[in-house]
Amino acid sequence: MKKPALPRQNGSAQKKSLSSLLAVVLFLVFFILALCANIIAPHDPWERFDPYLPPSVEHWLGTNDLGHDILSELIYGSRVSLLVGLGAAVLATAIGLCVGLFAGYYKGVTDEILMGITDVFLMIPRIPLIILLAAFLKPSFWIIALVIGFLWWTSTARVVRSKSLQVSEMNFVLSSKCLGFSDKHIIFTDIFPNIIQIVIPKFMLTVAAAMITEASLSFLGLGDPSMKSWGMMINFAFTKGGLINALWWWFIPPGLCIMFFVYSVVLLGYSLEEKEQAVLGIS
């Protein structure tokens, strides 16, 4: 008879390390592309050649309607994704961490108020609100990152709260209290280090969400016009006849880049997570 199997089997540990290796490699590739875009890219993304060229030796992925080299656009596009993703996630994690820590540590009224705010934020339809704000603001990518960061902290706050509720009942926290340390000291030197391992995977998932959101916004034509992002490339291909004329090299590669970059970030987040059950609980 089959025993109720333990969640983790032997084979999956090996598979896991393999896929996390893949994630690290993919992430590093995109990171280096973003960092050294000006060295790696064969052309300046704004330099004009003949328009609508198919892929060739000179232009690996052809050119777009304005004659810009698509491969170079692609390489520069990784910068926007990385900046918006990281910027938004840093802000969101910082807010979520503070809200969760304070709610979990002080409990009572503080908890009620902070979680009430979180619930309201959780219910805001985020994409429509960002579309509305972006339409008014005519955004730079910093504003996009800022807005995403201000809206994406809720799930981090919830996770951090429930963990810090647990941790703040533990003996070492109680003894710190008895020794008369200040609340601030206890929160940041006793509770915070015990929460960090659940915050990091959440951080990676937030990076992924922010990248997808940025791409979606740019696809609507709400991106930063001074920096070409992958979403914006797809927008141009979509509105300027790339799809209708079957110029697949124009809109497929940027989409694949978004997929691979997000995939590497999500996988990296998972492999940093310790518990298997949490590994598969995307939220």
Partner 1 sequence: MKKIARYLLALFIIISINFFIPRLMPGDPITNLMGEDYIVSQESIDALKAELGLDKPLLVQYVTYWGDVIRLDLGHSFHFHTEVSQIIASKLFWTTALVGLSILFGTLFGAILGALSGWGKNDPKNKTLTTFFLWIYCTPPFFLSLVVLYVFAFKIGIFPLRGFYETGTFTDIAKHFFLPVLVLSLSLASRNYMIMRGSIIQEKGKLYILYARAKGLLNRGILFRHAFKNASLPLITLVALDIGFIISGALFVEIVFSMNGMGTLIFDALLARDYPVLQGIFLIITIMVVVANFLADIVYGIIDPRVREQR
Q: Which residues bind partner 1 (CB under 8 A)?
A: 1-2, 4-7, 9, 11-12, 15, 116, 119-120, 122-129, 131-133, 135-137, 208, 212, 215-216, 219-222, 231, 234, 238, 243, 246, 248, 251-252, 255, 258-259, 262-263, 266-267, 276-283
Of 31, 222, 46, residue with least CA distance to 140? 222
Residue 164's Cβ-count burial label (10 Å; 0-12, 13-18, 19+) is buried
Q: How far is the CB of 38 from partner 1 (least distance, A)?
A: 27
Maximum CA extent, the chain: 75
- Smallest distance from partner 1 to CB 257, Å: 10
* Helices assigned H by DSSP within the chain: 10-35, 37-40, 70-106, 108-123, 126-137, 141-151, 154-167, 171-178, 183-185, 192-219, 230-239, 248-272, 276-279
Q: 84 and 148 in contact (C-beta within 8 Å)?
A: yes
Shorter beta-carbon distance to partner 1: residue 6 or 178: 6
Shortest Å distance, C-beta 241 to partner 1: 13
27: its two tokens? 């992430």
For residues 273 and 283, the answer to whether their CB atoms sit within 8 Å is no
Residue 87 or 231: the one with the smaller Cβ distance to partner 1 is: 231
Q: Minimum distance from CB of 132 to partner 1 (Å)? A: 5
Nearest approach, Cβ of 197 to partner 1 (angstroms)? 18
CA-CA distance, 118 to 58, in Å (whole number)? 52
CB of 75 to partner 1, least distance (A): 19
Tell the smallest beta-carbon distance from residue 133 to partner 1 (Å): 7
Residue with tokens 């509770």: 191
Which of 246, 243, 213 has its CA nearest to residue 230?
213
Judged by beta carbon, residue 165 or residue 212, the one nearer partner 1 is 212
Query: Judged by CB, which is closer to partner 1: 51, or 116?
Result: 116
Tokens 């198919």 map to which residue?
A: 54
34 vs 215, which CB is nearer to partner 1? 215
Please say which residue, 94 or 220, places its beta carbon nearer to partner 1. 220
d(CA 246, CA 250): 9
In the complex with partner 1, which residue's Cβ is closer, 191 or 198?
A: 198
